[in-house]
Structures are given as structure tokens and as C-alpha cells.
Structure 1
């Protein structure tokens, strides 16, 4: 399969993850708000806020996907790949402020003036249906991550290593959503069993803290990519091996890389070519190295050699 086809499949997979998340969260948010109004559950209201924020976040990711696909121009010669990381960072801030902040605020407010829960039957129904929808969305993002999962690595490690902000953002959000549903259900159950109205708003506070934790995780992952994360020590070591094995290279001083987008990397190489090489030999070596590196990591699309190394080779 060609690189172009691979890129199209990855792009399609990312969009599928986002669309699945939007469909799930939109329906869930509406049902949660309706039931929260009927039953007066603070935890259910917190969950409604969470799902509404997640729906808006997925729309922001769609904007990021669209903008990141714009071709390079004079102002952005390396393209707009990092737009996706920017919008993913906005999503993290949204989860922190709107999701976590509002849930904690509402939970604390409800703790000051707790109201007895009315019939919680509909709460359980909506939580169960929400778990099914969230589980479906989570599974779509899990499958997308598994396509890039290396043997012997966990799903968490794969998520940490992923450069596709759309996929790992939805995965983190949906993971937090499933845990939040469990917390909401536990708060409602405990409040009903012990006839104590404090458990439900306490669950709302816990859901808010969970979202704050998810937001920090998202911010850490997207922030590192936004400021210029490398391809990683393992990948750099393999690329160095390609250079060192080439007969035209005497030594490799430094290899520096920067992620420009989910599937686009910039690589600079400070190498020492064999002295006395003709210009056509140097050109052939560069082409050979570029092809070898691209074959190993197709995402490395830009390779630049330090000029000093070229001058020394032809001196």
C-alpha cells in the first residue's frame, strides 16, 4: 500500500473517531440534562455538563483536522499540521474550565444545600444507555490506537506515543467519561441506600476532579507536540543506524527531529561524509539516505543536511 493510501486511511480513521464521539456525546448530553431536571441529581447534571463540553470539544477537533490539512504556503512553508495540536490544547483547557470547573462548583454548591433525590430510576436508565454509547465511542478510538500499537506495549503507552491528537484526545475524554459514569452511579446508589443526600453532590465534585486530571493529561500530551516534540529516542536510534551503515558516512554528530503534524516530521542531520567525494557521489548518497529513512519512517518527509558536512566532503 502506498504512503498516500496510508495517510488517507489514517485521516479517515481520525475523522471516524471524532464523528462517533460527537454522535454519542450529543445524544447523551440531552438525555442527561432532561433526567437531571426531573430527578434533581447533581451528579447527573455534572455528567450532562461533561457530555455537552465533550460534544463541543469534538467540533473543535474537527476544525483542527480541517485546518491542519491546508497545503503549505509562503507564510507556513512546512504546512499547518500543528493546527491540530493547537485546537487539541484548547480542548484540554475546555475540559479543565468548563467540564471540571463547573462540575466541582455545582457539586460544592449542592453540598451546602443538599436536596433529597427524587425517583432515581431514570438516572439509572440514562447512565446505562450513556455507558453503551460512550463505550462504543471509546472502542472506536481504542481500535484506532491499536492500529499503531507496537508488540509488548500497553494501550496507555501507545496513547502516550501517539502523534494523532484527534485519536488520543477522544480516547482520554471517553475514558474519563466512562469512569465518570461509574462515579455518578455510585453516588446515586449510595445516596439511595443510606438515604443521605450528600453522596450525589460529592460524586459531582469527584467527577470534576476526574475531568481536571484528564485535562492535565491532554495538556501535557498536546503541549509537548505543539512546542516541537521529537520522534523519540528509539526512532532516532534507528534512523542513526541507517546513516551509520551507509558507506558514504564517516560519522554522525547529531540528528534532530520535530513533529510537524500527526504524520509529518522534520529531520536535520549533522553528519561527516567521506572526504574527497565528488559532488555526484554526495548527491547519490543523500538520495540513498533519504529513501532509506523514508522507507523506515514514512512520516519523515523533510530531511536537511548540515552544510558544513557537505563542504568537508567535497573539500
Structure 2
């Protein structure tokens, strides 16, 4: 997933949310609708989330240091996780609180009754544009995967985060429109509160999904099955490599993969032969999988009669 595509979707969402948050808050000041207040806070929280994603993307580009020899690529995961926390607390929890308060003390919309409906219709159009941009950018890298699989398995967090945020925003706007519309039709403010509580529940569910997915990335995920297959094929294509004894991969960032493998070489090979084989294998891996930036290959002698001797998970690094 290219950083450029993710940045384009984030900027589109940020501009849309800033404009929407302003118009929603003006509508709340005029009508005192709890749905409009919840939606304005929601859009403001989303704007902050997009700013966090942009900031995380910028910090992740810093050069490696002696203290952080593998760089800062995983900072993008940290800020994506912060987005889920902000969405849960600022968006979902606030909407629940405001909605429950409105249900306990309902009051109709007595003035500027057309304003919230007009604002919500315009907001749906603006959020739809943002959502469409995120879908278009995601389609460049999604391939044949389903949307659920794309969100679950994407190694770059920005587009899945923006997709879920925009989807939640669109559904939230529909819920707000329902609450406001029913309040205007029945002259009963409890519908406004119900719409607000529904928005809060929706945001909390989305925040939990984001938290689970980004937590997995933070803990460290292996390469995708497709990337693993390309790396294995590259190693097996090296004439001097008899077999892969075992291999492990870890994403240091969305576009940076660590590959560590123990490979079997012939017992008759000289040290120079082994060194040339490793250099050639590394070139093959990088050509097959460009995200493989950090590669460690350990040569060993494979014994068919004792396959566990070399390459067992418990073997020491210097074996």
C-alpha cells in the first residue's frame, strides 16, 4: 500500500471533516439538538484522528538511529492505535453520555428546524466524497480481496482506518438524520436522544474493531502468505541453497519487512562459496519481494536422519 495513496485519502477525509464539524456545530448552536452536538464532536474527533495519521506517517520516515536500529516504521501503527482510543473516548463515549442525558430530559427542536436536516444532507454528500476517495485509493492495493479481508490483513493502517471512519461517519449521519427527523415529525425530543445513543454505540463498535486490528500490527505480524511464497521461491531458486530449514518474517513497518532464515548448504562448500550463496540469495529475495529490507540468512548443514538438529526453533543463533 503506497504512502501516497493513504495520504490522499487522509487529506480528503480531513478537509471534509473540518468543514462538516463546523457546520454541524453551528446547527447545534441554533437548534440545541443532541444529535447535532454528537455529530459535531464526532467530526472533530475524526479530524484529529486524520491529523494523528499524518503526523505518524511523517515520524515513521525518520532515519534509523543506534537506539532504534530498525527505524521508526511501526510508529504508523502506534498512531493508528491512538485513533481507535480517540474514537472510543471522544466520539463514542461522549455521544452515549449526551444521548442518555437527552433521553432523560427530552425537548423538541423549536427553532431553525430546517437547519439540522439541511446540514445533515450536505454532510452526507461531503462524507460520501471522502468515502469514495478512500475506496478508490484502497482499490489500487486491495486486489481480489474482500473488504473485510482488506481491513483485517492490510499492513499499512491508514486506508483501513479512514475507510472504517468514513463508513461510521456515513451511518452516523443517517442515524442523526433519523433522530432529528423523528423529533421534528413527533415533536418529541426523545428521538433525538435515541439517534445520539445509536451514534455512540456505532462509534464504540468501530473503535473496538480498529483497536483489535492495530493491536495485532503493533505486536508484530508476519509477511502475507503471498509475500512468504515469493520469498521461499526466491530462496529455493538459488542453486547453492539446498533447502530452507526454517524462516521467520516480521513487519518493521508497512513497507519494511525483516526476513530471518536458516538455510542448508552443502557440507563441502567453502566459506567463500557460502558467502557468495548468501549474497546471491539476498539479491533474489529483494528482487522478488521489495519490502524485504532487512535480511539475515544463517547457513547450516541439513541432516536428513536428524532433521530437527538444524533449524529447530530452540536452536541458538550461532548454531
Q: TM-score, with normalisation over the residues of structure 1?
A: 0.90
1:124–1:214: structure 2 CA closer, same or farther, 3 Å change rule? same
Residue 127 of structure 1 corresponds to 120
Residue 254 of structure 1 corresponds to 246
Aligned mate of 1:215, from 196, 207, 226: 207
The worse-fitting range, judged by mean Cα deviation, of 301-310 and 208-217 is: 301-310
CA distance in 2, matches of 1:91, 1:64: 11
Q: How does 1:86-235 map to 2 (within 5 A)?
A: 86-118=78-110, 119-151=112-144, 153-235=145-227
Aligned mate of 1:242, from 234, 241, 248: 234
CA distance in 2, matches of 1:120, 1:178: 22
1:308–1:120: structure 2 CA closer, same or farther, 3 Å change rule? farther
Count of residues paired in the alignment: 303
Residue 4 of structure 2 corresponds to 12
Structure 1 residue 24 corresponds to structure 2 residue 16: yes
Q: 2:267 touches 2:301 (CA, 8 Å); kept in 1?
A: no
CA distance in 2, matches of 1:262, 1:231: 10
Q: Give the CA deviation at 1:243.
A: 2.3
State the secondary structure of the residue aligned to 1:30: helix
Write out the 4+ residue segments of structure 1 that deviate beyond 4 Å after TM superposition: 307-310
| Unaligned residue ranges in structure 2 (runs of 5+) | 303-309, 311-319
Structure 1 residue 273 corresponds to structure 2 residue 273: no
Q: Residue deviations 1:200-249, cap 9 Å, x none?
A: 11111111111111111111121111111111334323422332343322
State the secondary structure of the residue aligned to 1:268: strand
| Unaligned residue ranges in structure 1 (runs of 5+) | 1-6
Q: Give the CA deviation at 1:308.
A: 4.5
1:289–1:120: structure 2 CA closer, same or farther, 3 Å change rule? farther
Greater percentage in helix: 1
The worse-fitting range, judged by mean Cα deviation, of 91-100 and 218-227 is: 218-227
Q: 1:270 touches 1:309 (CA, 8 Å); kept in 2?
A: no
Q: TM-score, with normalisation over the residues of structure 2?
A: 0.89
Q: Give the CA deviation at 1:276.
A: 1.5
Q: Residue deviations 1:270-310, cap 9 Å, x none?
A: 22122212233323322332222222221111111135569
Residue 48 of structure 2 corresponds to 56
Structure 1 residue 67 corresponds to structure 2 residue 66: no
Q: 2:265 touches 2:299 (CA, 8 Å); kept in 1?
A: no
Q: Residue deviations 1:32-71, cap 9 Å, x none?
A: 0110121121111111010000111111112101110001
CA distance in 2, matches of 1:52, 1:190: 25
State the secondary structure of the residue aligned to 1:306: strand
Root-mean-square deviation (CA, aligned residues, Å) is 2.0
State the secondary structure of the residue aligned to 1:303: strand
CA distance in 2, matches of 1:306, 1:287: 12
